[in-house]
Amino acid sequence: MIKELREEQVPRKELDRVWTAYDQRIVDQQRQLDELKQAQGAIYGARDVIMDMRERLDRVERQRLSQPPG
């Protein structure tokens, strides 16, 4: 029984290596998520600017159309 347990036991160094690899993967995934969030924020920020400019242009065009020619 003890012999079987020892044969199945994973060495501590191997476990440390595996856990370090897991930690690195988690860090990499978090970095990717942060980059995606930042990119998404930039996209919606640009969209908001474009929508604001479009509203301003519409307002200016309406004002020009409502004024008598001259």
Residue range 9-63, pLDDT digits in tens: 889 999 999 999 999 999 999 999 999 999 888 887 888 899 999 999 999 999 9
Reading the block at residue 46, the tokens are 């640009």
Which tokens is 65 given?
A: 């159309």
Residue 62 confidence (pLDDT): 95
Quote the pTM value: 0.53
pLDDT at 34: 96
| Number of continuous H segments (helices) and E segments (strands) in the chain | 2, 0
Domains of the chain by residue range: 35-63
6 pLDDT higher than 90? no
> What pLDDT sits at residue 5?
84
